[in-house]
């Protein structure tokens, strides 16, 4: 048909025709950005920052940044947008939990495990499990401590569920919000190499709370020494994960501000553990059986040291 | 490009799609079928209208549906009756009866006692909604109300456990009764979890099954805890 020529696609012919007509025209080719210039740049600037590469994961950080930009494209009022925050498999969640409990020295939790795929499954359900672990363990521990006493009547203390839930969810969501705001503010003043998105910070905080679940269950043991050793141990583990995550983000800043930020992070983490221990778990009483001391007016006095 | 088009039009002097009207389907390609409008022989009046039936029939039909689902929960087989015809009557009845049976467990002060009616209600319904949202966000194919229906119906073994616990507590509240209650609650907790995962696990993507089953486990664990720690005044 004579009309068929008019229906042929013209585009590719045009490009080839244009290039053939004007071979000197500048063309832009898009290929993978190489990591070499970036390494050279950082080596020229700071010589003693070898751990930077490991912490940043520069071998594929560029790729992951590109991929991160392409992933969440659904508008925020659709269901698919929120599905992107739950795009994890079972083994990924287990890996992230393992990474939060066994900190590898020199490895950044966010770069190593999260890799621009922050999920909300871990933070939400770890917080929920922690709430119920603390309340149930506290109740059990109080039951065992007060077991033999004649005046003791067991109560389930169900109100503490709402208190625990408020505390733990506030810690897991408001502290990352404050930290993210603070880091954004410092970023506007001092150019930091590493910056985290809000969801990545929520993810780190959520997974770092995992160590408190077995700690809370072990707090049933009514020995003060055991409880405090557990607090120290879990604080060291999850605190070190937090410190190793956030130190690269504040390192370039004023020295005092950097130290103050990291110190506040660890302090709040410790405060959560100690506060939960003090509020939900009664102190194990030390009963010293003292002999009856007849007082002057003949009544007996039994002393008990709490 | 514009020059080429102009020359083409100038040379042919006829519009682009001129030849199309001459195209026709040749007779060797058989075209057959039926285009009929189904005569509306089923007028609404000829259907058995449920508006005129006696009230007892209406109630019995719904009760029978609920009862059939109860049987499906107690003997969980791979049947789709629970999923296909979901209803929320059963979960409502179970939730209300469980919440009522958990009353009278408060201590002297309201602060330290067992859960209030509203707390049990909110935990069961809000927990079921959160688990359903979780499974849908993880990519599950089950619908919202079907999942609510399954989770609500699988509270039935725990309601039975609550009933047994209250009866045992009438007899006494010593160590023996505690052990009996513990065994009953653990068994019913296992039954609930297994029944609900038997119905819900198939609709999840295969590498995320554990992520979906764990919140269900937590949900029934919390309800079992409320049942086990019930102490009457």
* ipTM associated with this complex: 0.73
B214 to A5: CB separation less than 8 angstroms, yes or no = no
Taking an 8 Å cut-off on Cβ atoms, the answer to whether B8 and A139 are in contact is no
Average pLDDT over residues A164-172: 93
Taking an 8 Å cut-off on Cβ atoms, the answer to whether A6 and B16 are in contact is yes
Q: What is the pLDDT of residue A47?
A: 40
Per the domain annotation, does B42 fall within a domain?
Answer: no
Give residue-wise pLDDT tens across range A16-74: 555 555 555 555 555 444 434 444 443 444 444 444 444 444 444 444 445 444 455 77
Report pLDDT digits (tens) over B95-115: 999 999 888 765 555 556 778
Domain annotation covers residue B75: yes
Look at residues B193, B213, B191 and name the one whose alpha carbon lies nearest to residue B203. B213
Q: Output DSSP code: residue A305.
A: B
In a domain, B192, yes or no: yes
The pLDDT value recorded for residue A101 is 85
Helix (H, G, I), strand (E, B) or coil at B115: coil
Q: Please give, rounded to a whole number of angstroms, the shortest distance from the CA of B107 to a CA of chain A.
A: 6
Does residue B102 lie within any of the structural domains? yes
Helix (H) or strand (E) holding A141: helix A121-145
Residue A211 in this model has a pLDDT that exceeds 50: yes
pTM for the full model?
A: 0.72
Position B223 in a domain: yes
Residue with tokens 């030849």: B19
Q: Which residues contact A78 (CB under 8 A, 6 or more apart)?
A: none
Residues B98 and B159: beta-carbon distance below 8 Å: yes
Point out which residues pair with A301 in neighbouring strands: A293
pLDDT band of residue A13 (cuts 50, 70, 90) is low
Alpha carbon distance B186, A154 (integer Å): 20
Q: Which domain holds residue B190?
A: 50-228
| Residue A248 neighbours by CB distance under 10 Å | 21
Q: What is the mean pLDDT of residues A250-272?
A: 88
Partner-chain residue, chosen from B112, B218, B225, that has the shortest CB–CB distance to A155:
B112
> Where is A255: in which H helix or E strand?
helix A255-280
Are the Cβ atoms of A153 and B214 closer than 8 angstroms? no
Q: Evaluate whether residue B37 is within a structural domain.
A: no
CB contact B119 to A (< 8 Å)? yes
CB contact under 8 A, A158 and B222: no
- Between A127 and A297, the more confident residue is A127
Please give the residue that has the higher pLDDT: either B223 or A302.
Answer: B223
pLDDT tens for the 233 residues of chain B, in order: 444 444 444 445 567 777 777 776 666 677 777 777 766 555 555 556 777 788 888 888 888 888 888 888 888 776 666 677 888 888 999 999 999 988 876 555 555 677 888 888 999 999 999 999 998 888 888 888 989 998 999 999 999 999 999 999 888 878 888 899 999 999 999 999 998 888 887 788 888 888 999 999 999 999 999 999 888 76
Q: Give B158's contacts (C-beta < 8 A, 6+ positions apart).
A: B98, B185, B188, B189, B192, B220, B223, B224, B227
* Dihedral angle sign, alpha carbons of residues A20, A22, A26, A28: negative
Cβ atoms < 10 Å from Cβ of A256: 8
In chain B, residues with a C-beta closer than 8 Å to the C-beta of A10 are 1
Domain-located, residue B11: no
Within a domain: B26: no
Our count of domains for chain B comes to 1
């Amino acid at each position: 048909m004579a009309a068929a020529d008019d229906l042929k696609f013209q585009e590719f012919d045009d490009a080839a025709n244009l290039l053939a007509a004007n071979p000197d025209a500048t063309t832009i080719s898009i290929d993978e950005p190489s990591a070499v210039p970036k390494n050279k740049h950082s080596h020229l600037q700071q010589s003693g920052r070898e751990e930077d590469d490991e912490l940043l994961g520069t071998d594929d950080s560029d790729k992951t940044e590109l991929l991160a930009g392409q992933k969440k494209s659904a508008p925020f009022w659709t269901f698919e947008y929120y599905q992107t925050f739950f795009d994890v498999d079972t083994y990924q969640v287990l890996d992230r939990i393992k990474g939060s409990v066994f900190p590898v020295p020199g490895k950044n939790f966010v770069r190593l495990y999260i890799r621009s795929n922050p999920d909300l499954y871990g933070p939400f359900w770890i917080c929920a499990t922690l709430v119920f672990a603390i309340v149930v363990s506290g109740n059990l521990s109080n039951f065992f401590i007060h077991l033999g006493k004649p005046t003791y009547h067991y109560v389930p203390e169900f109100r503490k569920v709402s208190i625990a839930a408020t505390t733990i969810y506030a810690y897991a969501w408001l502290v990352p919000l404050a930290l993210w705001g603070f880091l954004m503010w410092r970023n506007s003043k001092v150019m930091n190499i590493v910056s985290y998105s809000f969801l990545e910070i929520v993810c780190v905080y959520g997974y770092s709370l995992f160590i408190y679940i077995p700690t809370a269950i072990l707090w049933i043991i009514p020995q003060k020494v055991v409880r405090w050793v557990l607090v120290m141990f879990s604080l060291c583990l999850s605190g070190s994960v937090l410190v190793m995550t956030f130190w690269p983000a504040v390192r370039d800043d004023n020295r005092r501000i950097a130290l103050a930020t990291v110190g506040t992070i660890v302090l709040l983490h410790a405060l959560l553990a100690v506060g939960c221990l003090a509020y939900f778990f009664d102190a194990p009483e030390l009963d010293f059986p003292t002999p009856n001391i007849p007082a002057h007016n003949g009544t007996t006095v039994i002393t008990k040291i709490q | 490009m514009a020059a080429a088009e102009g020359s083409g039009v100038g040379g042919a002097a006829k519009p682009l799609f001129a030849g199309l009207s001459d195209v026709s389907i040749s007779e060797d390609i058989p075209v057959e079928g039926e285009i009929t409008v189904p005569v509306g022989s089923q007028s609404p009046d000829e259907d058995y209208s449920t508006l005129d039936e006696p009230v007892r029939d209406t109630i019995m039909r719904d009760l029978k549906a609920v009862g059939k689902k109860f049987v499906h929960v107690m003997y969980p087989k791979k049947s789709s009756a629970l999923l296909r015809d979901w209803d929320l009557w059963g979960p409502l009845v179970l939730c209300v009866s469980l919440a009522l049976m958990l009353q009278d467990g408060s201590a002297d002060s309201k602060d330290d006692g067992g859960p209030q009616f509203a707390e049990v209600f909110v935990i069961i319904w809000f927990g079921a909604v959160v688990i359903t949202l979780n499974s849908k966000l993880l990519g599950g194919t089950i619908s919202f109300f079907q999942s609510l229906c399954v989770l609500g119906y699988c509270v039935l073994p725990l309601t039975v456990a609550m009933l047994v616990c209250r009866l045992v507590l009438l007899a006494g509240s010593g160590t023996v009764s505690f052990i009996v209650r513990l065994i009953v609650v653990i068994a019913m907790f296992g039954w609930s979890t297994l029944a609900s995962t038997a119905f819900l696990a198939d609709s999840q993507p295969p590498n995320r099954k554990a992520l979906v089953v764990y919140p269900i486990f937590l949900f029934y664990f919390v309800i079992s805890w409320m049942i086990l720690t019930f102490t009457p005044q």
